Amino acid sequence: MLNLSAPDLTQHPPRSPRVRLGGYVHLPRLLDKARAVVSGQNGGYAYNCALDQHFFGFTGIDADAMLAAIKAGKSDTEMLAWVRANTKRSPVEIAAWCAWLSSHGPGGSDGHAWFADMIKTNGPARDDVQTFFDLLDLDDYVSYGGKG
C-alpha cells in the first residue's frame, strides 16, 4: 500500500505538476518531493530544483523553512495554510503565475537542445511535448516503465 505521507519516489513518481493545491500548480509535486527527501526515498527527484525555485521565488517562501514544516508532519491542508500564512500573493496573482508556469518551456538555444534531447530519449515520435509540464509528465511515465 502507498504511504502518501512519506512517498517512496523510487517506486512511483510524485504528483504531476499540473495538480493544484489552493490554486497553485506544482505545489502538490513539491510537497511529494519534500516528503520523500525527509523519508530518504526521493530516488532521482530533487527538492529545490529549478521548477521548485520558481514557486519559492514567486511566493517568497524559503525552501529550508518549507522543508522544516514538512518535517513536522504537516498534511497537504496544513501545508496550504502554512503557504498562505507565509506569502502575500493574491488569488489573481496566483492564477496568472500558474498560467505562466503551466505554459513555460525552454528559453534559449541550450534549453531547446536539452529539451529536444529529452524528447528524443523518452518519446521520439511525440510532437505534442511543448512545456516543462509536458516533459515532466512524459519523463515520469517513461521512468516507471511506460512507453513514450
- Note whether 113 and 83 are same-domain residues: no
Write out the residue range of the structural domain in which residue 50 sits.
Answer: 1-104
- Global pTM reads 0.93
- Note whether 82 and 123 are same-domain residues: no
pLDDT digits (tens, 9 = 90+) for 67-126: 999 999 999 999 999 999 999 999 999 999 999 999 998 888 888 899 999 999 999 999
Q: Which pLDDT score, from 0 to 100, does residue 53 have? A: 97
Residue 24's closest CA among 66, 73, 71? 66
- Note whether 44 and 82 are same-domain residues: yes
Question: Is 148 within the bounds of a domain?
Answer: no
- Note whether 29 and 39 are same-domain residues: yes
Read off φ and ψ for residue 21, nearest 5 degrees.
-140, 120
8 A C-beta contact, residue 104 and residue 84: no
Q: Which pLDDT score, from 0 to 100, does residue 36 have? A: 96
- Note whether 40 and 79 are same-domain residues: yes
- Note whether 94 and 113 are same-domain residues: no
